[in-house]
């Protein structure tokens, strides 16, 4: 196998595919990229057995073939080279690799491509076509609210529900919950699956900002296709809890406040909160929102007053400021609604204006105040 | 689950069925992680050195553990528990406490729930489980061990006192072999004997735990079923194939272990305030040493330096080292006031 390509182009594609390589691979070959050259196309694959990425680029091919090539050495070499054409020559018998740059030659040992794990392929699976921007938006809105608790495996991922033209992404760690729905999707299926966190993180970094994504899925895998690239991931095999049951339908009190002002205020106040709880207290009266925090261990305290519009009985409610900051940071609207009922029940955080064809609901559980 | 790891192996490899099986290394230094019921007849138990087990049961078949499979089964059974309640407190991969006082299906009889869960576990995993039902965690756990395998034991409130009275001290959950021995020396052989001891006496003889012993002997155990079991510490330890012969080797291993602890806690976003080490010499005498820092951490260099510092007292009387461990405890506690969704 032999081909030539620009070092910078190759590196760009390797960085795209490299995300699937695990930090602590169980098999040495999982530290490799699989390279396959067919005519003038180089196909690059990587996998951690759960998540796999395959991508392809144009190269100047001289001889077809395949090899598994250690990812780190190759990438480090390319990073250390100024952009220039490089040639890779692979001995198809012994899997020795020789890289030639304008400076010299670099040799490393590859592995037998036959030993590289087979990446699952999609067969007649359910198919959905979505704008890449919608998938990106859905993931950005939900990824942060997934759980780290491996005892509740389902909640460590993002629930994806496809219902004909509607696509819903849901995540929760039992303290916060996000439901993101897009209404302009093209499919003729109604089904759901749980996408692992790693796949979401990878998608976020490799999805293009524009263009279409073709999503195929079956009971065990999901396949995302875009830009000559395919990301395959094993789905989480667990039952997602009935999240709809915990989203309050009619929180009677409604606070309307500028999103950026609220966010910036919280960022200042949280500095003075207890470091383990990040607890802030919201005192809401007609027209005024008082945000305060204190850390008794260090005698730190802070309070700010903001104007707002509020419809409801005066309320004093505590939250983990980190949750509010994450949620407000993800939302885009100028103003947000905070819908509340009692100080020990779920609060809702909603954009005052939903983007066309999009619907975001964020829920946050309060902290009990010791008073 | 009954003889969990061993049963999974017998399920997946029919040739192991009906035979004495031990999961664990059969190397000179391995220990038995789980023994099949056939092996237990020969006196083979978990945590027994493999050499001893092989001596007790010459036909014992050693198989390598497959934790991925055990974890998957564990996940399957947990999903079944969650059909009934969210108040599930895992005790290990194959054991959990469930508070079914208010369950999702509004079933009034806990025994009925236990039987349903057992049936579902069997259908889903082709493995048997044993259940214990009672008024508190201590009694439920003890009850679950009574009729194994495939047991289902109820200790109703009116039988609690009589049950505890006859229960041999070594069967008490939370009383280990060492403590049981000590209690025997004081003439305590059964729950009845334990009950006869005043609380202050037990505390005087057994320290803080004395108060727990007194309570359980009197049927008092108010510990709630905690769905998210708080992790108390994070540690890594290694038994070496060959004893470490020099302090330099020990230090090098400590550095490796500290780095693993730092990596592991970093991944799980855990920090702790206390660094501890565990060291076992070739004469099996084991020491633990710990130091509490000024602030919580999971940084490699801090864990490493503290752990190496804790080693210094052993330099003067060095003996070959069989096992080393490094860990973090006194972990950053989560906010107890944070309310959770009932999912």
Tell me if residue B47 falls in helix, strand or coil: coil
CA distance A161 to A159: 6
Interface of B with A in 230-289 (CB under 8 A): 268-269
Confidence (pTM): 0.63
CA distance A158 to A252: 29
Nearest to A367 among B78, B337, B343 (CB): B337
B340 to chain A, any CB pair closer than 8 A? The answer is yes
Burial zone of B280 (CB within 10 Å; 0-12 exposed, 13-18 middle, 19+ buried): buried
**Judgement on whether residues A6 and A110 belong to the same structural domain of the protein:** yes
Q: Given pLDDT bands bounded at 50, 70 and 90, which one contains residue B336? A: low
Pair type for strands A221-226 and A176-182: unpaired
**Judgement on whether residues B147 and B169 belong to the same structural domain of the protein:** no
Given a cut of 60, whether residue A371 has pLDDT beyond it is no
Q: Residue B181's domain is classified under what CATH number?
A: 1.10.150.20
A302: in domain: yes
Which residue did the predictor score with more confidence, A188 or A327?
A: A327
pLDDT at B225: 86
CA distance A333 to A349: 11
pLDDT at B223: 86
B121: in domain: yes
pLDDT tens for each residue of B68-108? 899 999 989 998 999 899 889 888 889 999 999 988 888 99
**Judgement on whether residues B292 and B255 belong to the same structural domain of the protein:** yes
CA-closest candidate to residue B31, choices B69, B72, B65? B65
Domain assignment of residue B238, given as a range: 233-342
Show Cβ contacts of residue B32 under 8 Å, excluding neighbours closer than 6 positions.
Answer: B22, B23, B24, B44, B45, B46, B47, B48, B49, B50, B53
Interface mutation vs chain B, best among A151, A175, A270, A293, most B CBs within 10 Å: A151
Tell me if residue B35 falls in helix, strand or coil: strand
pLDDT tens for each residue of A146-189? 998 777 889 999 999 999 999 999 999 999 999 999 998 888 88
B104: in domain: yes
Task: Calculate how close chain B gets to A175, using CA atoms only, in Å.
Answer: 5
**Judgement on whether residues B182 and B207 belong to the same structural domain of the protein:** yes
Q: Residue B29's domain is classified under what CATH number?
A: 3.40.1170.60
**Judgement on whether residues B46 and B145 belong to the same structural domain of the protein:** no
**Judgement on whether residues A356 and A267 belong to the same structural domain of the protein:** yes
**What would the two tokens of residue B232 be?**
């108390």
pLDDT at B206: 84
Which residues in A lie closer than 8 A to residue B334 (C-beta atoms)?
A: 276
Q: Residue B251's domain is classified under what CATH number?
A: 3.30.1490.100
Nearest to B338 among A242, A243, A365 (CB): A365
CA distance A97 to A121: 28
Show Cβ contacts of residue B183 under 8 Å, excluding neighbours closer than 6 positions.
Answer: B169, B175, B189, B193, B194
pLDDT tens for each residue of A230-280? 999 999 988 999 999 999 998 999 999 999 999 999 999 999 998 778 999
Would the CB atoms of A276 and B90 count as touching at under 8 Å? no
**What mean pLDDT value characterizes chain A?**
93
Cis amide leading into A327 (omega within 30)? no
Q: Do residues A269 and A321 touch, judged by C-beta distance below 8 A?
A: yes
Number of structural domains chain A divides into: 3
The number of C-beta contacts closer than 8 angstroms across A and B is 61
C-alpha triplet B336, B342, B343: angle, nearest 5°: 120
Chosen domain end from A179, A210, A241 = A241
**Judgement on whether residues A224 and A290 belong to the same structural domain of the protein:** no
pLDDT tens for each residue of A342-354? 999 999 999 998 8
Which residue did the predictor score with more confidence, B230 or B77?
A: B77
B225: in domain: no
Q: Residue B100's domain is classified under what CATH number?
A: 3.30.70.270
CA distance B82 to B232: 24
pLDDT at A112: 94
Phi, psi of A95 (to 5 degrees): 60, 30
A143: in domain: yes
A121: in domain: no
Would the CB atoms of B340 and A365 count as touching at under 8 Å? yes
Which residue did the predictor score with more confidence, B323 or B25?
A: B323
Q: Given pLDDT bands bounded at 50, 70 and 90, which one contains residue A87? A: very high
pLDDT at A23: 81
**Judgement on whether residues B255 and B310 belong to the same structural domain of the protein:** yes
A246: in domain: no
pLDDT at B333: 60
* DSSP alpha helix (H) spans, chain B: 4-12, 37-40, 50-56, 67-82, 110-125, 137-144, 160-166, 177-185, 191-196, 199-206, 209-217, 247-268, 300-311
pLDDT tens for each residue of A14-65? 999 999 998 877 788 999 999 999 999 999 999 998 999 999 999 999 999 9
Chosen domain end from B36, B63, B90 = B63
Query: How many other CB atoms are found less than 10 A from the CB of residue B323?
Result: 19
Task: Calculate how close chain A gets to B234, using CA atoms only, in Å.
Answer: 15
Would the CB atoms of B341 and A276 count as touching at under 8 Å? no
B127: in domain: yes
Strands (E), A48-200: 51-58, 60-63, 65-70, 85-90, 96-100, 105-109, 126-131, 158-163, 166-172, 176-182, 186-187, 190-195
Query: How many other CB atoms are found less than 10 A from the CB of residue A246?
Result: 17
Which whole number is the average pLDDT over A111-115?
A: 93
Task: Calculate how close chain A gets to B343, using CA atoms only, in Å.
Answer: 6
pLDDT tens for each residue of B119-133? 999 999 999 999 999
Given a cut of 70, whether residue B331 has pLDDT beyond it is yes
pLDDT at B230: 61
Which residue did the predictor score with more confidence, B297 or A203?
A: A203
Nearest to B75 among A153, A279, A369 (CB): A153
Chosen domain end from A115, A145, A180 = A115
**What would the two tokens of residue A181 be?**
């729905």
Domain assignment of residue A182, given as a range: 126-241
A248: in domain: no
Which whole number is the average pLDDT over A139-149?
A: 93
Nearest to B338 among A155, A320, A363 (CB): A320
Residue B277 host element (H or E): strand B272-281
Task: Calculate how close chain B gets to A235, using CA atoms only, in Å.
Answer: 14
Q: What ipTM is given for this predicted complex?
A: 0.81
B95 is catalytic: yes
How many distinct helices (H) and strands (E) make up chain B? 13, 11
**What would the two tokens of residue B190 be?**
């059964």
Least confident of A87-91, A102-106, A298-302, B22-26: B22-26
Which residue did the predictor score with more confidence, B201 or A206?
A: A206
Unique residue bearing structure tokens 């978990």: B46
pLDDT at B200: 85
Chosen domain end from B157, B185, B206 = B157
Query: How many other CB atoms are found less than 10 A from the CB of residue A119?
Result: 19
CA-closest candidate to residue B220, choices B231, B232, B212, B209? B212
**Judgement on whether residues A130 and A108 belong to the same structural domain of the protein:** no
CA distance B189 to B192: 8
**Judgement on whether residues B196 and B114 belong to the same structural domain of the protein:** no
Handedness of CA A142, A145, A150, A153 (dihedral sign): negative
A322 to chain B, any CB pair closer than 8 A? The answer is no
Q: Residue A323's domain is classified under what CATH number?
A: 3.10.150.10
**Judgement on whether residues A234 and A259 belong to the same structural domain of the protein:** no
Least confident of A85-99, A320-334, B172-186: B172-186
CA distance A218 to A193: 9
Tell me if residue B52 falls in helix, strand or coil: helix
CA distance A284 to A273: 19
A265 to chain B, any CB pair closer than 8 A? The answer is no
A310: in domain: yes
**Judgement on whether residues A214 and A283 belong to the same structural domain of the protein:** no
pLDDT tens for each residue of B269-300? 788 889 999 999 988 888 889 998 877 888 99
Would the CB atoms of B341 and A149 count as touching at under 8 Å? no
Given a cut of 80, whether residue A107 has pLDDT beyond it is yes
Interface mutation vs chain A, best among B85, B333, B339, B342, most A CBs within 10 Å: B339
A336: in domain: yes
Task: Determine the residue of chain B that is closest to A345 in CA distance.
Answer: B339
**Judgement on whether residues B73 and B20 belong to the same structural domain of the protein:** no
**Judgement on whether residues B272 and B299 belong to the same structural domain of the protein:** yes
pLDDT at B228: 64
Chosen domain end from A115, A139, A168 = A115
**Judgement on whether residues B110 and B81 belong to the same structural domain of the protein:** yes
Unique residue bearing structure tokens 């679950």: B144
Interface mutation vs chain A, best among B69, B124, B271, B337, most A CBs within 10 Å: B337
Which whole number is the average pLDDT over A292-301?
A: 88
Number of structural domains chain B divides into: 4
Length of chain B: 343
Phi-psi sector, A299: left (phi>0), alpha (psi -120 to 50), beta: left
Unique residue bearing structure tokens 């693993």: B260
Instruction: Name residue A89's beta-bridge partners.
Output: A2, A98
B44: in domain: yes
Query: How many other CB atoms are found less than 10 A from the CB of residue A253?
Result: 18
Catalytic residue among B95, B116, B237, B256: B95
The pLDDT > 70 percentage for chain B reads 97
CA distance B114 to B332: 36
B79-111 b/e with 16+ CB inside 10 Å = b? bbbbebbbbbbbeebbbbbbbbeebeeeeeebe
Secondary-structure breakdown of chain A: helix, strand, coil percentages, each rounded to the nearest 5: 25, 45, 35
Work out the angle between the directed axes of helices B110-125 and B67-82 (0-180°, nearest 10). Answer: 140
Phi, psi of B139 (to 5 degrees): -70, -35
pLDDT at A125: 82
pLDDT tens for each residue of A213-226? 999 999 899 999 99
CA distance A354 to A340: 19
B224: in domain: no
**Judgement on whether residues A160 and A225 belong to the same structural domain of the protein:** yes
Would the CB atoms of A277 and B338 count as touching at under 8 Å? yes
**Judgement on whether residues B239 and B292 belong to the same structural domain of the protein:** yes
A160: in domain: yes
Q: Do residues B182 and B172 touch, judged by C-beta distance below 8 A?
A: no
CA distance A241 to A192: 13
Interface mutation vs chain B, best among A48, A49, A174, most B CBs within 10 Å: A174
B304: in domain: yes
B107: in domain: yes
Which whole number is the average pLDDT over B207-213?
A: 85
Chosen domain end from B157, B175, B191 = B157
């Amino acid at each position: 196998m032999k081909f030539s390509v620009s070092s910078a182009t190759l590196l760009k594609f390797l960085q795209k595919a490299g995300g699937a390589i695990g930090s602590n691979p169980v098999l040495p070959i999982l530290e490799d990229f699989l390279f396959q050259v067919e005519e003038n196309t180089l196909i690059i694959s990587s996998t951690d057995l759960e998540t796999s990425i395959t991508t392809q680029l144009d190269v100047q091919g001289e001889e077809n073939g395949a090899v598994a090539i250690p990812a780190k050495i190759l990438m480090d070499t390319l990073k250390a080279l100024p952009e220039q054409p490089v040639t890779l020559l692979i001995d198809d018998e012994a899997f020795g690799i020789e890289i030639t740059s304008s400076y010299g030659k670099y040799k490393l040992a590859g592995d037998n491509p036959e030993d590289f794990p087979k990446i699952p392929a999609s067969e007649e699976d359910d198919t959905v076509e979505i704008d890449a921007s919608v998938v990106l938006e859905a993931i950005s809105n939900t990824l942060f609210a997934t759980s780290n608790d491996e005892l509740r495996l389902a909640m460590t991922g993002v629930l994806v529900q496809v219902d004909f033209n509607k696509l819903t992404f849901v995540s929760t760690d039992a303290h916060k919950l996000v439901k993101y729905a897009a209404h302009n999707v093209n499919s003729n299926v109604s089904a759901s699956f749980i996408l692992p966190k790693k796949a979401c993180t990878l998608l976020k970094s490799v999805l293009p900002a524009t263009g279409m994504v073709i999503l195929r899925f079956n009971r065990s895998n999901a396949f995302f296709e875009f830009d000559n690239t395919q990301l395959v991931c094993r789905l989480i095999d667990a039952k997602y809890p009935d999240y709809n049951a915990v989203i309050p339908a009619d929180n009677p009190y409604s606070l309307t406040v500028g999103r950026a002002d609220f966010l910036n205020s919280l960022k200042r106040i949280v500095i003075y909160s207890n470091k383990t709880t990040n607890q802030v207290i919201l005192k809401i009266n007609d027209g005024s929102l008082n945000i305060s925090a204190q850390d008794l261990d260090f005698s730190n305290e802070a309070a700010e007053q903001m104007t707002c519009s509020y419809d409801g009985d005066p309320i004093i409610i505590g939250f983990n400021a980190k949750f509010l900051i994450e949620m407000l940071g993800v939302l885009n609207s100028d103003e947000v609604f905070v819908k509340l009922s009692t100080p020990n029940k779920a609060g809702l955080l909603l954009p005052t204006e939903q983007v066309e064809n999009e619907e975001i609901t964020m829920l946050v559980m309060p902290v009990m105040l010791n008073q | 689950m009954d003889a969990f790891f061993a049963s999974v192996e017998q399920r997946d490899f029919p040739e192991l069925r009906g035979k004495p099986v031990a999961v664990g290394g059969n190397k000179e230094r391995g220990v038995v992680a789980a023994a099949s019921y056939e092996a237990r007849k020969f006196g083979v138990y978990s945590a027994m050195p493999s050499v001893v087990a092989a001596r007790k049961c010459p036909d014992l078949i050693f198989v390598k553990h497959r934790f991925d499979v055990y974890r998957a089964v564990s996940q399957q059974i947990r999903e079944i528990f969650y059909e009934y309640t969210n108040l599930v407190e895992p005790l290990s991969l194959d054991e959990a406490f469930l508070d079914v006082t208010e369950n999702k299906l509004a079933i009034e009889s806990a025994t009925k729930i236990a039987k349903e869960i057992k049936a579902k576990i069997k259908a889903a995993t082709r493995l048997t489980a044993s259940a214990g039902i009672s008024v508190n965690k201590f009694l439920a756990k003890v009850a679950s061990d009574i009729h194994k395998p495939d047991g289902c034991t109820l200790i109703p409130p009116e039988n609690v006192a009589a049950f505890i009275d006859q229960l041999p001290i070594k069967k008490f959950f939370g009383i280990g072999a060492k403590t049981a021995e000590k209690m025997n020396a004081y003439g305590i052989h059964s729950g009845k004997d334990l009950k006869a001891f005043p609380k202050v006496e037990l505390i005087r003889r057994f320290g803080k735990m004395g108060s727990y012993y007194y309570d359980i002997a009197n049927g008092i155990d108010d510990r709630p079923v905690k769905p998210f079991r708080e992790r108390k510490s994070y540690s890594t330890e290694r038994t070496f194939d060959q004893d470490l012969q020099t302090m330099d080797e020990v230090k090098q291993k400590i550095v490796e272990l500290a780095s693993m602890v730092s990596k592991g806690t970093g991944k799980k976003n855990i920090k702790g305030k206390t660094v501890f080490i565990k060291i076992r010499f070739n004469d099996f005498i084991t020491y633990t040493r710990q130091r509490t820092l000024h602030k919580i951490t999971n940084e490699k260099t801090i864990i490493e330096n503290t752990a190496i510092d804790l080693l210094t007292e052993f330099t003067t009387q060095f003996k070959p080292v069989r096992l080393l461990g490094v860990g973090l405890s006194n972990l950053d506690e989560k906010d107890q006031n944070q309310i959770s969704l009932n999912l």
